[in-house]
Amino acid sequence: MKRAVVLLSGGLDSTTTLAICRADGFESYALSFRYGQRHECELVAARKIAKSLGAKEHRIARIDLRVFAGSALTAELEVPKKRSATEMASSIPVTYVPARNTIFLSYALAWTEVLGATDIFIGANAVDYSGYPDCRPEFIRAFGQLANLATRAGVEGARFAIHAPLLTLSKAAIIQRGFSLGVDYALTHSCYDPTSDGLSCGACDSCQLRLKGFREAGLTDPIVYAP
């Protein structure tokens, strides 16, 4: 069975990506990061999801992004709430973490090489993507090229593939795809600003995109939102 490393945040997109990786016939190795998130909900979710979707291993790498500061997800900035779709689409949000996907993919590449594998899955999405530059197709392609040059395996002829199966799917299409693969979305966590009990706020960009996706897919979001 061919091995693949899957970046798993515990959110809706990466969970669907893990299900697709398995459906594509790979033995999956899930990789999450403890990077100074303000809340642990994501990692708790990731652990349950990796188990429920049959990942062969799940590792959590502790990395240090706070050392550079500069993002609402890792610093003490205000998470924007109830922004319109136009506002979300028109700018890169303050929740942008500099070079995050580059750092995450670099770690994935290291583990992939150690495993003797050449496939990496990432749930990047260029449609409802909240304006993150490192979720664009040209970024994903460029990282694949870099991987071939960056590694011993690449020098020896291996060709790395960065799979981003959600890249051009709407949130609704992602959710429908996941449902067809048996994903339990009750396990996932999307909110940027949950309550201390881990309930989702329903108002940040991530919650809004998620709720809109379920509505458009004609399905009910199984998670509980704060009153």
Residue numbers of the site for its own copies (CB under 8 A)?
Answer: 59-65, 67-70, 92, 96-103, 106-107, 109-111, 113-114, 133-134, 136, 138-139, 142-143, 145-147, 149-152, 154-155
C-beta of 205: minimal distance to its own copies in Å?
16
C-beta of 60: minimal distance to its own copies in Å?
8
Residue with smaller CB distance to its own copies, 19 or 164: 164
C-beta of 144: minimal distance to its own copies in Å?
10
Integer Cα distance of 194 and 41 in angstroms:
8
Closest CA to 188 of 173, 200, 176: 200
Integer Cα distance of 50 and 5 in angstroms:
12
Residue with smaller CB distance to its own copies, 150 or 173: 150
| Paired residues of 58 in beta bridges | 30
Locus of tokens 């990942």: 55
| Residue 191 CB contacts under 8 Å (≥ 6 apart), including other chains | 41, 200, 201, 202, 204, 206, 207
C-beta of 208: minimal distance to its own copies in Å?
21
Residue with smaller CB distance to its own copies, 132 or 214: 132
Residue with smaller CB distance to its own copies, 140 or 211: 140
Amino acid at 155: V
